[in-house]
Amino acid sequence: MPMTELIGRIISTDVQKRQIVITDKDSILHPYRVPESLDIILQKQRAGWYVKITSQEDLVKRIDFAQKPADWPQSGKAFQKPRNERLIVTQMLIKTYADLVKFDFDPSDFNFAIARRLILDAVEEDIDRVMKIGSEQK
């Protein structure tokens, strides 16, 4: 049986079952059995690390540290969820208006339901204007 080498990123290790699973650059999972003689090396491995596995079929013969290959695809970190500017402005207006409402109410006469309605009505009334002001180029 020929020996094969594969460089990949560790997905998981199971010391009790003596197993390691790595993924290659095409995101294909490769599960391997690890012999007892490599227990100490297996214990040191962590998910996310890159390794070079030398194996015969699905039995590991050697585990070596490896650098991330240059042709490896970018991780999900490159994706950034788009910001919801309208939501951010709405949150800011609610906070600001809530702070202002404190000055307009007598504490003995305070009614949460009325204050809440006043704040949300004011935000609805002002949000489009504030968004327009924020989008104007200077």
Q: Is residue 63 part of a domain?
A: yes
Identify the CATH number of the domain in which residue 16 sits.
Answer: 2.40.50.140
Q: What global pTM score does this model have?
A: 0.54
Look-up of token digits 């007892």:
36
Q: Is residue 128 part of a domain?
A: yes
**Do residues 46 and 90 share a domain?**
no
CB within 8 Å of 3: residues ≥ 6 apart:
54, 55, 56, 61
pLDDT tens for the chain, 138 residues: list them: 789 999 999 999 999 999 999 999 888 999 999 999 999 999 999 999 999 999 999 999 999 999 988 888 776 555 566 778 889 999 999 999 988 887 777 777 778 888 889 899 999 999 999 998 888 755
DSSP reduced 3-state for 82: coil
98: left (phi over 0), alpha (psi -120 to 50) or beta: alpha
Range of the domain at 125: 85-133
Look-up of token digits 């090396």:
41
**Do residues 64 and 109 share a domain?**
no
Q: Is residue 79 part of a domain?
A: no
Q: How many domains does the chain have?
A: 2
Any alpha helices (H) in the chain, and if so which ranges?
Answer: 39-44, 85-104, 112-135
**Do residues 58 and 30 share a domain?**
yes
